[in-house]
Structure 1
Amino acid sequence: MSAAALDSFLAALDASDQEIQTLMMVRHGHVVLEEEWSPYRLQDRHLLFSVSKSFTSMGIGLLVEAGLLSLDDKVVSFFDDEELPDKISDNLAAMQIRHLLTMTTGHSQDTMEALSRDRRMVRIFLGLDVDHQPGTVFVYNTGATYTLSAILQKLTGETLLDYLRPRLFEPLGATEATWEISKEGITKGGWGLSLNTDSLAAFGHLLLQRGQWEGQQLIPASWIEAATSKQVPNDNQDNPDWQQGYGFQFWRGRHNTYRGDGAFGQYCLILPEHDTALIVTSASQDMQATLDVVWEHLLPALEGKPGDGTARPEKLEIPAPAGAAPSGDGRTYRFEPNDAGLSAVRLDPDGTGTFTFAVGANYETSVPVGTTQEVVCAPGGWQELTDELQDPPQRLVTNASADGEAFVATFRYLETPYVATLTCRPDGDSLTVDVNFNVSFGPTEFTLRSS
């Protein structure tokens, strides 16, 4: 490969509107590219969202190999009367393991929103209307993957994470793996896995080797082949790289590729014809746009072409906001419970701000509700600290800057794609805080006012 072509690819990613945070590429078993955009680090865990689904697929493949279930097994056969609806419809009765794997359960929309309303997520999933005959319609369905995790736990007596630790994560060296647990005690399966970039690259290499790792067959080669092949059509999706077919919790892509991907630009992209795995973590508003950069700039490099001559960026970083130092009045403002978890703000004349956050009932953490932490923001570069309200604690960097008369505090949660910007404006005896998130499953902007 041409080093200049890789430089051109890196420059194109850096110049794109998609905020890239870490990158690793493995080709012919060797790491040929590994980059981190400071303050992000390759060694840190990163929340992978729906890349988790591809790991759940590996767990199901191991169960099939062990003879504990088959693709034809009926979903309802794994659950008892307390979890099943009073009346089982014909379509629910017909739903099989293969339908959960291929997102062809027969539901008319993703079940995730319905599942989030109650802790009894399995019961909710089984109680939803199944509008179509299973196997006939592709609808991306995170609840289906959660149900696979629940079935694995029923069969093994272990959570999905505990089951995969000795069989997959530890052999790959991914001992840092964490995976969120639902309120009913089930590994979430379809989301919630955190790994560092190197561990995700090891998984990509495992896929290229058809499940073999250091002379040991961790996952059956036949399962890798089936899981990453087109099992069902999905041309009802919007973007070209999401219309190439779906396997067992893997997307097929253009140029004979396949991938696990997660919200806001997390990728484990496999290019079998080039014996290459590309790992990207990012905060992207447009996941297709990132893949377009790959096709335009990386594919030619893999084919031996020299690149377009664009130089490698001198420094890969996401700089702290620049501008004048802010100032405050030294008062402490308090807030009623809110979605941002913000309970108090003090803005001091020296340009520092102290933001007190409290764990609310809606937090996805085992830290007790009501636990608080003061987070200081100061002008200059990024200030690093530890977010103790997460379990396990996570890296966080902060900054303070001025926007006219407003005090702007920026929080980068480095083990996720999330960035929160809080623009604070005193208004008489109150403080108005405009909250903005760079990416979100819900609203990205809302306003808080002190009590």
Structure 2
Amino acid sequence: MTAHPLPVSSPAAQGVDARGVQAFLDAIEAAPGVEPHGLMILRHGRVVASGWWAPFTADRPHRLYSISKSFTGSAVGFAIEEGLLDLDARVISYFPEFDADITDPGSRAMKVRHIASMASGHLSETVVQAHAIDAEEPVRGFLLIPPDREPGSVFAYNQPTTYTLGAIIQRATGQTLTEYLRPRLLDPLGIGETLWERDRAGRELGYSGLHAATDAVARLGQLYLDKGVWEGEQLLPASWVAQATRAHVDNSDGSPEARNSDWAQGYGFQFWMSRHGYRGDGAVGQFCVVLPEQDVVIAITANTDLMQSVMDMIWEHLLPAFGPEPVSAAGQDAAESAEDAALRERLSRLVLPTVEGEAAPADTEAWSGVRFAPRDGEAEAQPSLTAVQLTADGDGWILTLDQAKDEDEPPFALRFAGTGWAVAERPAVPVPTAVSAGWTDADTFVAELGFLETPHHLTLTCSLAARDFTASWQGKPLRPTPLSSFGVPR
């Protein structure tokens, strides 16, 4: 289905001060450890600001990590409306084949509403333990871990709860999450291609692994802001939206620090409560912030481990920019129009920083054809990367990344000429990858690699004298995987 563009308006026409958006851009671009990829701000249902930092683009799917949970939660709302799911049913009732194995009273008492609200009774994350118990069926592994407390009484952010929730939906509907959501949510909202990572059993993960464009995040947020209504039609039950976006379990320890944490304001059904409004979010900087009081949705895709810092920037710069009504006072239109135009111009030319260095070394022959090995003691930074080679190629260079042969991983051959971003697409490389590279001195070559369908960014530094390289992540992946997995699942 071809997505219809969201309606667009100037910031001033929707009561948004463009200077606040500019201040947010200043802050997020200047913040160490924050690499923005995409931004969309909707006010009164209209896009008032949007932009993507090259080499990222508007139409490219991006790994959303735990924003996947909010899509899974939406599937729960549809399934309840269709009589396929009951929040008060015991989880074990959907898996009768495990009934004899699950003997702990707490596990047997666990209800669907408990796993939907991260209140299974466990006090900590159980994903590693669940897979260790039963890698083929993580639901069974999870249910074999006795809860520490009575289900419903305590909060713990716990991946197997949402995995189990997604497994129940897939079992109850006989479809994958994508198949179930496509006619009910994705197509009606005009969300184009989405791809969802699956486990070894072929089940879509539910708690993570969804790849979609920033626009999809914005559309989901707008649907929830409008209480499940889209273009005049009640798609998602309003009762589900109300339940999903209020706190069901306290996740604050009552400390002064918790008052200023957007991760200690309560948890709903696959949504976090925030100091203002509520949100879905995903690891390494993915956000779907919904502000009902301001009638605003903010969608951000990024690469950062400093997620509270991003939320702080939103509250400091964007929140005050949402005025109570459009700016229309006499004499203000021209000034506001100029500010809006300046913002649009800036948003149209966003670009991530590139390597500060020379486009070619002083001695091409000394560098061309050299293979660099992992520096001693640092190979674990990227376990599957075994060698790096540079080869002069006409007016440019080819950077080749070799991966572990026992994983049968194909090499990456990335061509660059100059230090600006160069993008390689499939099938030339296993996954879409951008490279900015250059020589920072006679002995040092640096390459910044962006894996464009994920948040992740790898920095390579090669030493000619030592014939070795180091590899360091900005936004470290949640688990070690080959570089060829850093793209949409196909």
TM-score scaled by structure 2?
0.80
Q: Distance in 1 between matches of 2:464 and 2:158?
A: 44
CA deviation vs aligned residue, 1:92-133 (integer Å, no higher than 9, x gap): 011110110110101221122234553432222122232211
Q: Distance in 2 between matches of 1:33 and 1:74?
A: 45
Mapped contact 1:53–1:189 kept (Cα < 8 A): yes
Q: What does 1:153-172 align with in structure 2 at a 5 Å threshold?
A: 153-172=170-189
Out of 269, 277, 281, which is 2:297 matched to? Answer: 277
Q: Evaluate the alpha carbon distance shift between residue 141 and residue 443 of structure 1 in structure 2; reply closer, same or farther with a 3 A threshold.
A: closer
Q: What letter corresponds to residue 425 of structure 1 in structure 2?
A: S
Q: What does 1:45-84 align with in structure 2 at a 5 Å threshold?
A: 45-81=61-97, 83=98
The farther-off stretch of 296-305 and 47-56 is 296-305
Provide the residue aligned with 2:356 in structure 1: 322
Q: Indicate whether 1:190 and 2:207 are aligned.
A: yes
Q: What letter corresponds to residue 114 of structure 1 in structure 2?
A: Q
Out of 188, 192, 195, which is 1:178 matched to? Answer: 195
Structure 2 counterpart SS, 1:321: coil
Provide the residue aligned with 1:436 in structure 2: 472
CA deviation vs aligned residue, 1:279-318 (integer Å, no higher than 9, x gap): 11111221111111111111111135999x9x85954211
Q: CA deviation at 1:15?
A: 2.7
Q: Indicate whether 1:252 and 2:273 are aligned.
A: yes
Q: Evaluate the alpha carbon distance shift between residue 49 and residue 443 of structure 1 in structure 2; reply closer, same or farther with a 3 A threshold.
A: closer
Mapped contact 2:37–2:52 kept (Cα < 8 A): yes
Q: Indicate whether 1:411 and 2:449 are aligned.
A: yes
Q: CA deviation at 1:202?
A: 1.3
Structure 1 segments of 4+ aligned residues over 6 angstroms from their partners: 359-362
Instruction: State the superposition RMSD in angstroms.
Output: 3.0
Mapped contact 1:345–1:353 kept (Cα < 8 A): no
Q: Evaluate the alpha carbon distance shift between residue 291 and residue 87 of structure 1 in structure 2; reply closer, same or farther with a 3 A threshold.
A: closer
TM-score scaled by structure 1?
0.87
CA deviation vs aligned residue, 1:11-65 (integer Å, no higher than 9, x gap): 3333333222111111111111111112211221111110110111111111111
Structure 1 counterpart SS, 2:113: helix
Mapped contact 1:423–1:434 kept (Cα < 8 A): yes
CA deviation vs aligned residue, 1:340-364 (integer Å, no higher than 9, x gap): 43354322367734323448888xx
Structure 2 counterpart SS, 1:352: strand
Q: Distance in 1 between matches of 2:404 and 2:296?
A: 42
Q: What does 1:3-82 align with in structure 2 at a 5 Å threshold?
A: 3-17=18-32, 18-81=34-97
What is the number of equivalent residue pairs in this alignment?
Answer: 431
Structure 1 counterpart SS, 2:300: strand
Out of 390, 395, 400, which is 1:355 matched to? Answer: 400
Provide the residue aligned with 1:224 in structure 2: 241
Out of 105, 108, 111, which is 1:90 matched to? Answer: 105
The farther-off stretch of 145-154 and 17-26 is 17-26
Structure 2: give runs of 5+ residues left out of the alignment: 1-14, 328-335, 481-490
Provide the residue aligned with 1:447 in structure 2: none
CA deviation vs aligned residue, 1:224-280 (integer Å, no higher than 9, x gap): 01100111111049661111111001001113x000011111111000011110111
Q: Distance in 2 between matches of 1:109 and 1:395?
A: 36
Q: Distance in 1 between matches of 2:232 and 2:88?
A: 31
The percent identity for this pair of structures is 39
Q: Evaluate the alpha carbon distance shift between residue 203 and residue 440 of structure 1 in structure 2; reply closer, same or farther with a 3 A threshold.
A: same
Provide the residue aligned with 1:424 in structure 2: 462
Q: Distance in 2 between matches of 1:251 and 1:85?
A: 35
**Larger helix proportion, structure 1 or 2?**
2
Structure 2 counterpart SS, 1:73: coil
Q: Distance in 1 between matches of 2:477 and 2:150?
A: 29
Mapped contact 2:398–2:413 kept (Cα < 8 A): no
Provide the residue aligned with 1:243 in structure 2: 264
Q: What letter corresponds to residue 269 of structure 2 in structure 1?
A: F
The farther-off stretch of 414-423 and 349-358 is 349-358
Out of 416, 421, 433, which is 1:396 matched to? Answer: 433
Q: Distance in 2 between matches of 1:154 and 1:282?
A: 33
Structure 1: give runs of 5+ residues left out of the alignment: 363-368, 445-451
Q: Distance in 1 between matches of 2:20 and 2:417?
A: 40
CA deviation vs aligned residue, 1:134-183 (integer Å, no higher than 9, x gap): 11110001111011111111111111111111111111111211111111
Q: Distance in 2 between matches of 1:10 and 1:347?
A: 36
Mapped contact 2:229–2:235 kept (Cα < 8 A): yes
Q: What letter corresponds to residue 444 of structure 2 in structure 1?
A: A
Structure 1 counterpart SS, 2:262: helix
Provide the residue aligned with 1:385 in structure 2: 424
Q: Distance in 1 between matches of 2:235 and 2:417?
A: 48
Provide the residue aligned with 1:104 in structure 2: 119
Q: CA deviation at 1:388?
A: 4.6
Q: Evaluate the alpha carbon distance shift between residue 442 and residue 269 of structure 1 in structure 2; reply closer, same or farther with a 3 A threshold.
A: closer
Q: Evaluate the alpha carbon distance shift between residue 260 and residue 361 of structure 1 in structure 2; reply closer, same or farther with a 3 A threshold.
A: farther
Q: Evaluate the alpha carbon distance shift between residue 274 and residue 361 of structure 1 in structure 2; reply closer, same or farther with a 3 A threshold.
A: farther
Q: CA deviation at 1:3?
A: 2.8
Q: Evaluate the alpha carbon distance shift between residue 357 and residue 84 of structure 1 in structure 2; reply closer, same or farther with a 3 A threshold.
A: farther
